[in-house]
Structure formats: structure tokens, C-alpha cells
A and B are shown apart, each in its own frame.
Chain A
Amino acid sequence: MATPRVEPLAREVPIDEVRSRLEAILEISNDGILVVSLDGTILAWNRAAEQIYGYRADQIVGKPLTTLVPPDRLHELSEIYPGVARGGVIDQFETVRVRRDGVHIEVSLSIMPIRDRNGRVTSALIIMRDITAAQLALQEAAQSSEKLSDRERMLKRALVALRESHERAKSAQLQLVQAAKLESIGRLAAGVAHEVKNPLAVILFAVDYLAESIPNPDGNIQVALTDAREAVGRADSVIRGLLDFSTATELSPSEQDVNKLVRRSLQLVRHSLTKSHVFAVEEMEEGLPSAMLDRNKIEQVFVNLMINAIDAMPTGGTLIVRTRRDRLTVMGSDVGVRKTDRFQVGQSVIVVEIEDTGTGIDETARPRLFDPFFTTKPPGKGTGLGLAVCKTIVALHGGTIRIGNKEGGGGARATVVLHGIRSKEGQSDGEGAGPTRR
């Protein structure tokens, strides 16, 4: 603290008046003011000091300053006062002192030397302020601030939890809607199947009977019989699709080699490949982890995707079937770090890709590809249930399926991502994922 500037007293002011002025300042001050001799004896004591410490002037003047200092703070005296005696000033030193009733109070002290006419330090002036209330307020403010920070953190956590819960609720709602759709389609399918399959069976038997009963059918009769048989087949495939779609929720998973399933599916579509002049190319990564899959249902998915690819190349082309192991490194709509995410970041997965060299998919059709009864095939060729069934089956296995055009064009690519359970060396990939029986 800088030494306060005091106007030089006019010579003509009498000494009594000066004393009176000083005493007035001492008495009116809200800060405790005391004067201490260099040996530590209290020499002067104002009204504010009396209020702070509880001692009247006649009770404390002449007593040692240590009366006001708690035992554990006595060392401060030897640290502070020698400096003051040498002319040093202490500004707003915060410490603890003892009231007359023994209560400890927090005070802020400013100390400056008092000099005689020759400039020699004779005593020290101490101005003290009770800061207990201020300190308490500060502590309370700090505690409030801490509480506020805690609440803010809690609110942030609650917000995150709320968002997650909202996401889960949204996803559960979508699943419920999908389940309700499946259930109603299932009920519809069972009813339609029974009502339609019987008449279809009658028509088929009648056609068979006519075919055997007409001794030498001419060409037109043969065409009529063949058309009737094919019409029954088409109607049956719609019903079959409906039934498959509605029963896609039942899985019988077992440990499977994905490459084997893909190769067997290729065998099943060999006839279609030959008929459409489509050449098949296998790009299989060997040593893939095995997977918990319902063999028949996953084969149904692969066959469906292969048939779609072949149908997209009516004048011939190349069907590329690729399998590989992939490690997921980028977060996405199905990849995250939460347990509820379909795949975890860092997880190793099995990827199956089925590509064609056809004209690709119309961008306007892409969002609806997996909708039941949506088809881009000519009438009588597709039921519009194939991809809907595929999606349901893959989703039940905890996997994903997406279809899009190849980068740079020149055909479409269907990508199926499945959980692997074990590497060929018998080491667990640690995902612990896979389908659950439903």
C-alpha cells in the first residue's frame, strides 16, 4: 500500500485541534484502528475495534497485542512487525484473530509505521476489518458456484441420457411399427394363403388332368395348359413371398461358413445365370470368421440378391460375388460405441457384396427398394416382397443390408454386413454378437 498522502497541516492550526481531528477520525471509522508500540503493547483502540473484538479501550490498552492473536498465529508477529519497525507497510493482510469471547474471526489488516519528528519509527498503526461475513459469503458463493457446476454437469448428463432415450424410443417405435406391419401382413398372408392356395391347387390338378386326358393336344392346347400352369406358379409365388415375409421372424441359427453359403446360393441360381448369359465371378476371402446364421434364410437372401442382379442384366453381363472381412472404424447410423448400436466401432464384420453390370438403380426408386410390394420388375416377374424379406432376415441376424449404384456407375451393388463370431484360428473376435433366437 502506498503511504497515504496527508495534507501538510497549516502551521497556524493549533495542536489541540489536530489531536481533536485525529480522534474524530478514529472514532467515526468503521474499521478497527489501534496503535501498537514497537514492543507489542496496545497503545490506542477505537470504537470500531471495540465492536469487532469485544474489548473496551480501558480493558485492552496497555495489554500485549498477543491477546488478540491465536496461538497458532503468533509466528506472524515476528514475521510482520520487524519489517514495519524498519518502515515497511503491510497492505490488507488476511489472517485470523480472537475476540474477547474466544470466537475466531477473519480479519484484513493494514499496518504502517508511525514516525516521530526525526522520522524514527516509534509505533505502528493497525487498521483492521472484520471480513468473516465477506469470507463466508465468498465461501458460500464458491459452494454455490460448485453446486451450479454440479447441476450443470447433471443437466448435461440428463440431456445426453434424454437424447439417448429419445433415440431408443424412436428406434423402438420404428421396430414396433415394423413388427405391427409384419404381424398384420402375417395374419393377412395366412388367410390369403389358405383361401388362394386351395383354388390354385384345384387349377393345377385340372391342368394336369387335361394334359393327360387330351390324347394328341395341338399347339394351342399345349400353350394354354403351359400358360395356366405358369399363372398358377406366379400366383403361388406371391403367396409364398407373403408367407416367407410373415414367417421371416423365426430363426434357427447355427455356426456357418459364409463362403460356403454364398457358393451354395450361386449353385442354386446357376440355371438363371446360364439362361441370361451372365458370367459369375467369385472374389471370396478365405479364412473368414464363422457366423451364427439361419442357413436357409441367409441363403434365401443371397439367392434373392443374385436373382435381382441377374434380372438387371437381361442381355447378359457379369455377376460379381465378393466376401471379405472388414474392421469398422468410422461411426455411422449403424456403427457406434453404445451397446444399442447394431455394430461397434472397431468390430470385425463379414461383408458380402453382390454386384451386377446392369444399368443400375433409378435414384427415385432407391428409398423404396425395401418396401413390401415395391418392384421395378415388369408385371408378373416380381412380387415386390423379395427385398423386404431380405431386409427382415438380415435385420433379425443383427446385420445390415444396403443397395446402391457402384461408384462411377455401371451397375448396382448389394452389400450385406453380418456379425462374425470366431476367427479360423479359434480366437474370439470379442464382439459377442450374433442373432438371438426368436
Chain B
Amino acid sequence: MEKVRVLLVDDEPSFTRMLKLNLEKRGFTVMVENNGAYAYTVAQDFMPDFIFLDVIMPDVDGGEVAAKLRRDPNFKDTPIVFLTAGVSREATKAKGNIIGGQQYLAKPVTVDEVVATIEKVMKKKTKATPASPRG
């Protein structure tokens, strides 16, 4: 089975470095971008199956990156999950991890939770579009 390609966009290099190490250990192919302004270009090159976006970033924030990606038909259906440090985990549970129609994870989060989120979202996507091949 082909490895799931995950793009991590977060302005905190140590965060993306640690998450990358963990996800690669769990069998994912991971690309990291620490500048929101370059996220779209990196996505075009990398063609991820799944994108984690930090919400608060200098220059270009997660919301703007997501909007730009969604305008591109190539990423119209690519799952995007936001990673935020601005919401409590209680609120995350209460709101079903969804704010404004977007799914998110509240930092700090365990690797198990990150992996479970990827698997759950990918499973849902496969069910919704069974015939749609990646890329």
C-alpha cells in the first residue's frame, strides 16, 4: 500500500521536526513547510494526500493558505486539518473538533491522536470518493 503523503505547515520548526520524525516512524511520507507564504508552492510540488495547517502564522496564516489551496482543483478535496494553540482541548471535544466547518486539533496533541485523525479522515474520504485516485 502506498504511503500517505502528509504536508505539515507550521511556523514552529521544532514542532514540525518532531511531528515529522514521529509520522515517518509510523510510515507516512512527510513534507514540512515553516512559512505560510510558500505552503501553496510546496503543495503543488509535493501533491499531499493530507495537510496539517497551523492557524496562527506570521505573514500568511492558515486560513489564507487553505483558501488558496481550495481554489486549486488539484486540492479541492484534499483533507485539511488545522492545528491550533489557541483553543482548549475541552472546547475541541465539545465542538467535535470542527470550527467553521473546518476540522482542527488543539496543541499539544499526542502522536496517537494525530495518526488517528489522519486515518479517520482518510477513511471518510475514501468512502466518499472511492474511485478518485490520488493526485
Contacts and interface: CB of A to CB of B under 8 A. Distances in A.
Question: Which among A205, A209, A213, A244 has the highest number of chain B CB atoms within 10 Å?
Answer: A205
Given A209-B21, A213-B25, A243 B15 contact: no
Interface stretch (A1-9, A81-89, A232-240): A232-240
B90 A197 contact: no
B85 A201 contact: yes
A384 B106 CA distance: 22
Given A205-B22, A209-B18, A193 B86 contact: yes
Interface in A330-369: none
A204 B18 CA distance: 9
A194 B85 CA distance: 5
A202 B12 contact: yes
Describe A's contact surface by its main secondary structure: helix
A200 interface: yes
A190 interface: yes
Contact of A208 (B86, B107, B110): B110
A296 interface: yes
B116 interface: no
Describe B's contact surface by its main secondary structure: helix
A232 B107 CA distance: 11
A206 interface: yes
B99 interface: no
A435 to B, nearest CB: 17
A212 interface: yes
Nearest to B92: A240
A236 B108 contact: yes
A209 B23 CA distance: 9
Interface in A202-224: 202-206, 208-209, 212-213
Interface bracket on A:
20 to 34
A300 interface: yes
A287 to B, nearest CB: 28
Contacts of B109: 201, 204
A239 B86 contact: no
A247 interface: yes
Nearest to B18: A205
Contacts of A193: 85-86, 88
Contacts of A212: 22, 25
A200 B25 contact: no
A197 B85 CA distance: 6
Nearest to A194: B85
Contacts of B107: 197-198, 200-201
Interface in A172-212: 190, 193-194, 196-206, 208-209, 212
B128 interface: no
A289 to B, nearest CB: 25
B56 interface: yes
Contact of B111 (A199, A203, A208, A232): A208
Contacts of B60: none
Contacts of B14: 199, 202
Interface in B1-59: 12, 14-15, 18-19, 21-22, 25, 56
Contact of B91 (A205, A206, A213, A243): A243
Interface of A: 190, 193-194, 196-206, 208-209, 212-213, 232, 236, 239-240, 243-244, 247, 296, 300
19 contacts: A193-B85, A194-B56, A194-B86, A198-B12, A198-B107, A200-B107, A201-B85, A201-B107, A201-B108, A205-B15, A208-B22, A208-B112, A209-B111, A212-B22, A236-B108, A243-B91, A244-B88, A244-B90, A247-B91
Interface of B: 12, 14-15, 18-19, 21-22, 25, 56, 85-91, 94, 106-112
